[in-house]
Structure 1
Amino acid sequence: MDNIRATVLAELQHALSTLQSQPVPAQTLVVALSGGKDSVVLLDILYRIAGSEEDNPYKLPSLYAFHVNHGLSSEADDWMHHCSILCAHRNIPFESATVTLQSKPRISLEAQARELRYTRLLEFTKRKNGVLVTAHHLHDQVETMLLQLKRGAGPKGLGSMQAVSFRNEVPIIRPMLDVSQEAINQYAITSKLSWVEDESNIDERFDRNFLRRQIIPLMEARWPAVSRAISRSAQFCNEQAQLLEQVSKEKLLSLQDAENKLDVALLLDHSELWQKQILREWLRQFFPLSPSSSVLLQIQKMLIAKEGSQPLVGIGEYSVRRFKGKLWCINRFEHLPEHLPIPDTGVTLPVWGKRLNVDVAKDAQWDRGSLSLVTGLPSIKLRPVGKLHSKLFKEWLKEWEVPPWERIQVPLVFYNDSPVAVCLHNQIVALQTPPTVPLLEFSYN
């Protein structure tokens, strides 16, 4: 018991010392309390450390516990009640949240429950200006690395879980990563702790349970030290991934512009291996999941595509495109209808993510109901204010270097039958209009 407590204390103090550079020091430790054996042991150890003058000379931040009720088990409410009693006996502030799961295509209930659990935990931890503390242990780490191997992950994925990490800007500490399941079991029994048993933990249809109940025991029977060896490998992978990420970020800074568009010519100056790594780092700015090898290969082919071509690679809700010697990563937007009246409150332009507002010169006579947004008119002739000649709308769009995939959605503002303005990404271009059109002023917010 003393060994496990000493391990947790040492890891906790080391983790908190690494977080001292944060703008606001942690004021609380929020324990993710499921009610299962692992989290109950963690709660008890932290409670004993916090109450011991010998173990807590540095005065750890105050303790909170938070439980998320997924409702997946018929006993879920009992588990939540059990957690509240555990905390009441130790005088630890306790809060809980109940989440509702819905069947979604291609997303398992377990994955959805995990995501919602973290969302609620992180929200609560941020509200308490705290650090989230989880009960992940040595064998959780082994399971995670084996699952990553099964998925064909690279160094970052094989790095598995870390003693200190961040999610949504909230620090997460895992002080039991070096503690075995056996040590946790022994602590729980010796301390006469009470916990709940989740019946789903014995369902070997789930990969993690299959590894825990079938594969890892066989490995440890043949190689008793294999779990700690796998954990060391995970740490080495994480260190290599951090070094690689650091260098990749430095390289990326010299290759992308202020709008995060990537210079194709500069990227081609690097080897194919570095191209892949830089592309991974670039895409991480837009979504957290690393792209597959096949997606990276498709993007690399875009680098040498003919200048006039319009290659596209789709990644979830995003598209990678090439235009004017740059790679763009674009979130797919909702298209405007071909004709949309502009109400008094203005109108949102999905293609730009901005809101268009319209005002009229003082005392001018005008009909607000005559204003509308119109798309899909590439061949209409226009003459911007200050220009000597009219040209087709599509020719102006080329001159303004609007990317081809956006051109069909660039809206014109019409007053009755007269086009009066063009809504571009970073400006609104006023057009020459007949004298019958009032002087209108346009702005974004």
Structure 2
Amino acid sequence: MLSKFIRDFIQDTVQQLPIDARVCVGFSGGLDSTVLLHLLSQEPEIKQRLYACYIHHGLHVEASVWQAHCYQVCKTLNVPFSAVAIQLEAQPKMGIEAAARTLRYRALVEQLSGEHDVLLTGHHQRDQAETVLLNMLRGSGVKGLAGMALSRNLTIGTRTVKLHRPLLNAPFSALQEFAQAHKLTWVEDSSNQSNDFKRNFVRNQVLPLLHQQWPSSQNTLARTAQNLQESSALLDRLAKIDLNQAWSNPFYIDLSVLSQAETANGTLDWAGQKNALRFWFWTHHRIILLSHHYEWINRVMSAQGDGKKNAFSCVLSQGELRFYQTRLYFLSTARLSSNKLSLSLAQALQRLNRPVFLQNHESDVLTGDIVENEYAFYLSKSQWLAGNESSDELMTNLSILDLDSVRAQPDLAEQLNTHRLKRFFQTQCIPVWERSAWPVLVMNQCVISVLGCKKSLKSGSFKCTDPNFKVLNEGFLHDQTQRVILKLNQHERLQLLTID
């Protein structure tokens, strides 16, 4: 009966797994992941696709011993095994527990190469109860109090995989009984007894006290999390509706537009704006803002007449919030610390993984391929081929403008008409900190276009003085020979500004 009780918890997950998916278990050697690996190894439809991965944090003196134990368990179960070593920063800004968790998930995701590969972890009901209590004490909102989900998409960098927690509703006591009944062996982390870590304190001190008064408290907390997950899903649905009325992207959100979003009761109030912001930050950046962050945002937006408003910024552990006019930007820590502020055209193309298409000037594609927020420019085939051999050669006649170097050369600055370029940046709402990295097309020391801004060509904001090139009414720059076309939409334009 006990075996069936425990196995029932994983059946829903097993049935959801794609038939061609490799199944990776995050295997620490602890009781919960040992039980999960044992259960999955007994499933015929999973066994041939199952493997385990141990993450060596290097934080514990017995980490190598645990790795050897995990290898032996997998050998006994005839399950493929791998181990990955990760290294934490000396003093991680987000705390050791959070930093270790982030690196652990990154390492596990990197082991999944197939399109449908999935990751399974051994989180159980007690883990859920701890998470709910910790988030409650942090003052979390609905999403935090909803705890962990049975399954969710896990995005690390550009890779997204499905994460499943099959045992999330299984009581820890039941896992203990199952492991003992099947004579399983597992490792015990002695640091789990140290109450210096908040989660350990909740596990060792708080939960036992709650259990004395309310024996089913862990189950009740897990059920509360499930109820709040439903509420969180409804709030997400509402946020999507509100954000659809406001133009937004992963790089910034315009709060003046968001505040004017129409609802059944008029424009969107502050509570609705906060909900939309919460969803935007979590969806694009996996960030949960705290109450004082929202207070800061509201305070800045209320200071419409403050001339210093554009200088406002708020530091997070993952990066920085900045305002430019009514746009709220998020700049990641990696981008803030990077000094790669200019890109050659060749680097930009490589970064976007965009091929360049050679077009004959008689092709109908030249005027039939333009859509809103896109622009195209054409270069002679000979110029492109010369530049394609070497980015340095390409930069001779065609370059991405580095404004920092321009400031150091007054004569060149005058030729490039940087004052005019500055005004263009201002009218296009391009913030100050992005201007030195913004891709600007330069030919023969003359600004001819700001990449991604079709208006810069069409409105005549910049004019090319080279007699071999002409600006057409459709917004095309071209010569009279064979042409190369590069089209950059607004999302890709902003993508160039996210420095790795």
TM-score by length of 2: 0.69
String of CA shifts for 1:37-90, please: whole Å, max 9, x gaps: 222222223334x26xxxxxxx34633222112222222222111111112112
String of CA shifts for 1:88-132, please: whole Å, max 9, x gaps: 112222222222333134244443332222122222244494322
Select which of 316, 319, 330 maps to 1:317: 319
Aligned equivalent of 2:134? 147
What is the identity, as a one-letter code, of the residue corresponding to 1:224?
P
Alpha-carbon separation, structure 1, partners of 2:280 and 2:466: 48
What is the identity, as a one-letter code, of the residue corresponding to 1:189?
Q
What is the identity, as a one-letter code, of the residue corresponding to 1:103?
A
Q: Is the 8 A contact 1:286 1:329 kept in 2?
A: no
Aligned equivalent of 2:7? 9
Q: Is the 8 A contact 2:246 2:257 kept in 1?
A: no
By how many angstroms is 1:171 displaced?
1.7
- 44 and 258 in structure 1: CA distance in 2 versus 1, 3 angstrom threshold: closer
What is the identity, as a one-letter code, of the residue corresponding to 1:180?
P
**Mapped pair 1:243 → 2:234:** yes
Map of 1:77-156 to 2, 5 A cutoff?
77-127=64-114, 129-156=116-143
Select which of 13, 29, 35 maps to 1:41: 35
Select which of 152, 156, 165 maps to 1:165: 152
Aligned equivalent of 1:194? 185
Map of 1:292-371 to 2, 5 A cutoff?
292-306=290-304, 309=307, 310-311=309-310, 312-314=312-314, 315=316, 316-323=318-325, 327=328, 329=330
Aligned equivalent of 1:179? 170
Matched position secondary structure for 1:205: coil
Alpha-carbon separation, structure 1, partners of 2:396 and 2:161: 50
What is the identity, as a one-letter code, of the residue corresponding to 1:100?
Q
Aligned equivalent of 2:259? 267
- 183 and 145 in structure 1: CA distance in 2 versus 1, 3 angstrom threshold: same
Alpha-carbon separation, structure 2, partners of 1:426 and 1:395: 14
Map of 1:59-78 to 2, 5 A cutoff?
59-60=45-46, 62=48, 63-78=50-65
Q: Is the 8 A contact 1:336 1:375 kept in 2?
A: no
Alpha-carbon separation, structure 2, partners of 1:172 and 1:144: 17
- 26 and 247 in structure 1: CA distance in 2 versus 1, 3 angstrom threshold: farther
Alpha-carbon separation, structure 2, partners of 1:408 and 1:83: 51
Query: After the TM superposition, which of the residue ranges 223-232 and 165-174 deviates more from structure 2?
Result: 165-174
Unaligned runs of 5+ in 2: 261-266, 356-376, 384-391, 470-477, 489-500
- 187 and 330 in structure 1: CA distance in 2 versus 1, 3 angstrom threshold: closer
Alpha-carbon separation, structure 1, partners of 2:153 and 2:443: 51
By how many angstroms is 1:160 displaced?
0.8
Matched position secondary structure for 1:284: helix
Matched position secondary structure for 2:147: coil
Aligned equivalent of 1:206? 197
- 177 and 426 in structure 1: CA distance in 2 versus 1, 3 angstrom threshold: same
Q: Is the 8 A contact 1:383 1:431 kept in 2?
A: no
By how many angstroms is 1:383 displaced?
9.0
- 185 and 263 in structure 1: CA distance in 2 versus 1, 3 angstrom threshold: closer
Aligned equivalent of 1:281? 279
Q: Is the 8 A contact 1:263 1:326 kept in 2?
A: yes
Alpha-carbon separation, structure 1, partners of 2:279 and 2:382: 52
Q: Is the 8 A contact 1:162 1:174 kept in 2?
A: yes
Q: Is the 8 A contact 2:55 2:86 kept in 1?
A: yes
Alpha-carbon separation, structure 2, partners of 1:413 and 1:391: 16
Q: Is the 8 A contact 1:252 1:281 kept in 2?
A: no
- 125 and 424 in structure 1: CA distance in 2 versus 1, 3 angstrom threshold: closer
Matched position secondary structure for 1:286: helix
What is the identity, as a one-letter code, of the residue corresponding to 2:227?
F
Aligned equivalent of 2:216? 225
Matched position secondary structure for 2:285: coil
What is the identity, as a one-letter code, of the residue corresponding to 2:268?
H
Alpha-carbon separation, structure 1, partners of 2:215 and 2:354: 60
Aligned equivalent of 1:55? none
Between the aligned residues of both structures, percent identity stands at: 27
By how many angstroms is 1:263 displaced?
5.9
- 422 and 273 in structure 1: CA distance in 2 versus 1, 3 angstrom threshold: same
Alpha-carbon separation, structure 1, partners of 2:202 and 2:171: 15
Query: After the TM superposition, which of the residue ranges 38-47 and 234-243 deviates more from structure 2?
Result: 38-47
Taking only aligned residues, the RMSD between alpha carbons, in angstroms, comes to: 4.4
Q: Is the 8 A contact 1:256 1:262 kept in 2?
A: yes
Q: Is the 8 A contact 2:142 2:231 kept in 1?
A: yes
Alpha-carbon separation, structure 2, partners of 1:392 and 1:175: 60
Alpha-carbon separation, structure 2, partners of 1:404 and 1:181: 54
Alpha-carbon separation, structure 1, partners of 2:115 and 2:432: 47
Matched position secondary structure for 1:68: strand
Q: Is the 8 A contact 1:256 1:263 kept in 2?
A: no
- 173 and 91 in structure 1: CA distance in 2 versus 1, 3 angstrom threshold: same
**Is the helix fraction higher in 1 or 2?**
2
Q: Is the 8 A contact 2:243 2:258 kept in 1?
A: no
String of CA shifts for 1:251-274, please: whole Å, max 9, x gaps: 211222578643624524212211
Alpha-carbon separation, structure 1, partners of 2:69 and 2:172: 22
Q: Is the 8 A contact 1:138 1:228 kept in 2?
A: yes
By how many angstroms is 1:222 displaced?
1.5
String of CA shifts for 1:386-431, please: whole Å, max 9, x gaps: xxxx984434444555445545666777788x54545444468664
By how many angstroms is 1:279 displaced?
1.6
Matched position secondary structure for 2:25: strand
Unaligned runs of 5+ in 1: 52-58, 385-389
Alpha-carbon separation, structure 1, partners of 2:416 and 2:52: 65
- 146 and 400 in structure 1: CA distance in 2 versus 1, 3 angstrom threshold: closer
TM-score by length of 1: 0.77
- 395 and 30 in structure 1: CA distance in 2 versus 1, 3 angstrom threshold: closer
What is the identity, as a one-letter code, of the residue corresponding to 1:219?
L
Pairs aligned (count): 420
Alpha-carbon separation, structure 2, partners of 1:285 and 1:145: 21
Query: After the TM superposition, which of the residue ranges 257-266 and 81-90 deviates more from structure 2?
Result: 257-266
- 13 and 360 in structure 1: CA distance in 2 versus 1, 3 angstrom threshold: same
